[in-house]
Amino acid sequence: MTTNMVGIEIKDLHLSFGETEVLTGVNLTIEPGEFFSFLGPSGSGKSTLLRAVAGFGPTPKGQILIGGRDIVDLPPWKRNVGMVFQSYALWPHMSVRDNVAFGLKERKMPVSEIGPRVEAALDLVGLLSMAGRMPNQLSGGQQQRIALARTIVVEPQVLLLDEPLSNLDASLRVQMRRELLALQRKLGLTTIFVTHDQEEANTTSDRMAVLDGGVIQQVGSPQVLYDTPANLFVANFLGTANIIDGVVEKDGAAARFVTKTGDAIAVGDTTVNSGSIVLRPQNISIVAKDSANSISGTVMHREFLGSQIRYLVDAAGTEIVIDQSHVSGETWQDIGAEVSLNINSSAAVVLAS
C-alpha cells in the first residue's frame, strides 16, 4: 500500500454559508507526504476548509489542487481523497468487513481482490480479528481504527482527518495519535489533520496552519509558531503568553522595549516601532534584586503544578506569568515578596500593534 505522494495547493479560497463568509482568501501549500494540521478554535473554519477539500459543503470560490489537478468542481465521489470523520461514520447495518469493503466494491474491484485488500487493511490497524463484528460491538478506539482502515483501503491520494481523536478518552488519544503518525509515515500519505487541541497538532505535525475567523493566521512548524508567533492570536492560542504593550527605543544597534510604566526590556533587532512584546512564562526568571536587564515586581500568587511552579508577579503594570522548573528541596518565593525578573531577550518577540 504505497501511493505516489501528491501535494495539495489551495489558492485564494473563499467560502460562504449563505451571506456569512466562513473562509476568506485561504492560500496554502502542503508538501507531498507531509503531515499537516489545521489548528484553531471552534468556528475558525478549520473543519469547513477540510470539508471543502473533501468536496462537502457549499462549493468554494478559488482553487484546490491535488497533485496539480483542480478538484473544486468535482463531486466528492470523484476526488479520491480519503476522509475519516469525527464520528467515524461507520455504517451500523454493515459488519466491519463490509464497511471496509464498501469503497472497493464501489470501485468495481473483482471480489477475489477485495478480500485480501480488506484483510490487509484490517491487519494494518491491528483489528483483523474483528472483521465479523458489527460496529456497535466495538470500542471507540476500535471504531476509530476501522474508520481509518475503511478510508486507506481505497488508497486515496490524500488523507483527511476531521478531529479523529476527539471522541476518545485522554490516554487512548495519546496512543492513537502516535499510531496515526506511524501509519502516515509508513504509507507516505499526504495528510491533513484538523484539531482544536494544540498538543495533538504539536506532537504530530510536520507543519501546521493556525486559523481564526476563516483566515489563516500563520503557517509553519509547531516550534516556529510557538517561538515566533506572527500575531497576538497565535501567541495567545499556542501556550501561555505574557503580552505587554509599549514602544521600541533604538540606540544604535541595541534596541529596548519600553513599557507604559517605563520598564525597559532589551530585545533583538526589530523593525517595529510600537506594539506588544510577547514573553513565554518559561523565558522569564526570578533573579536577585536589581540585576542587569531586569524589571522589578511583587509576587501576587503562586501555584504548584508539579514539574513547574507558576508565579503571578505584578510588574510593568500587569500580572506576568512566570514558570520555573521545580527542583526538589528548593525554596519558593513568598507571596508579597519584592523580586526582580530577568528576561531572556533572545526569546522575546515584538509584534506591531
Partner 1 sequence: MTHSPRGSAPGLSIADRLPKYLFPRIGGTAAIALLIAILLVGLLIVPVLQVIYVAFLDPNTGALTLNNFKDFFGSSLFRESFGNSFYVSAVSVVMATIIAMPLAYITTRFNFGGSVIIQSLGFIPLIMPPFVGAVAMQLIFGRNGSVNLILRDKFGISIPFMEGLNGVILVQSIHYFPFILINLSTSLRNIDRSMEEAAQNLGSTGMRMFRRIVFPLAMPGYIAGAVLVFIKVFDDLGTPLLLNVNNMLAPQAFLRISSIGISDPMGYVISFILVAFSIFSLWVSFLFMRGKDYSTVQKGGGGLSKRDLSTREKWIAYGTVSLILLMVLSPHIGLLLLSFGTIWSYAPLPDDYTLQNFVVMWENSGTYISNTVLYAGLAATADVILGTAIAYIVLRTKLFGRQALDYMATASLAVPGVVLGIGYLRLFHGVQVPFSGEPMASWWVIIALALMVRRLPYALRACMAALQQVSISLEEAAESLGASKQSTIRRIVVPLMSGGILAGFVTSFATAAVELSATIMLVSSDSDAPLAYGIYLFMQTPSGRGAGAALGIVAVILVGVGTYASQRIIERDKKMRMSGDAH
Q: Which residues bind partner 1 (CB under 8 A)?
A: 54-56, 75-78, 80-83, 85-87, 89, 91-93, 102-103, 106-107, 134, 136, 150-151, 154
> Which residue lies nearer to partner 1 by CB, 154 or 272?
154
Nearer to partner 1 by C-beta: 108 or 289? 108
Pick 164 or 220: Cβ nearer partner 1: 164
Q: What is the DSSP letter of 38?
A: E
Strand residue runs (E) in the chain:
8-17, 20-30, 35-39, 61-66, 69-70, 81-84, 158-162, 190-195, 207-212, 215-220, 242-251, 254-259, 264-267, 274-279, 284-287, 294-304, 308-315, 318-325, 338-343, 349-352
Sequence-ordered list of residues with C-beta below 8 angstroms from that of 330, at least 6 positions apart, any chain: none
Matching residue, cell 499537516: 36
Q: Which is nearer to partner 1, 35 or 88 (CB)?
A: 88
Spatial contact of 106 and 156, defined as CB atoms under 8 Å apart: no
Query: Are 8 and 56 spatial neighbours (Cβ–Cβ below 8 Å)?
Result: no
321 to 131, 137, 242: CA distances (angstroms)? 52, 48, 6
**Min separation Cβ 181 and partner 1, Å:** 22
Which CA distances in Å does 31 have to 5, 12, 34, 35, 208?
9, 18, 5, 9, 12
Q: Grid coordinates standing for 207?
A: 507543519
Closest distance between partner 1 and the C-beta of residue 192, in Å?
Answer: 14
Min separation Cβ 174 and partner 1, Å:
24
Residue closer to partner 1 (CB basis): 76 or 262: 76
In angstroms, what is the minimal distance from the CB of 297 to partner 1? 39
Contact 298, 338 (CB under 8 A): yes
* Of residues 86 and 344, the one with the C-beta less far from partner 1: 86
Query: What is the closest distance, in whole angstroms, from the C-beta atom of residue 208 to partner 1 in the complex?
Result: 23
Give the integer Cα–Cα distance in Å for 322 and 309: 8
Q: Which is nearer to partner 1, 54 or 201 (CB)?
A: 54
- Phi first, then psi, for residue 318 (nearest 5°) are -150, 180
Q: What's the angle, vertex CA 280, arms to CA 294 and CA 285, rounded to 5? A: 35
- Of 53 and 295, the one with the shorter C-beta distance to partner 1 is 53
Rounded to whole angstroms, the Cα distance separating 42 from 213 reads 9
Smallest distance, partner 1 to C-beta of residue 20, A = 17
Cell triple for 312: 503571578
**Helices and strands: H and E segment counts in the chain:** 8, 20
Question: Least Å distance between CB 11 and partner 1?
Answer: 23
**Closest separation between CB of residue 43 and partner 1, Å?**
12
Shortest Cβ 85–partner 1 spacing (Å): 4
Question: In this complex, which beta carbon is closest to partner 1, that of residue 92 or of residue 336?
Answer: 92
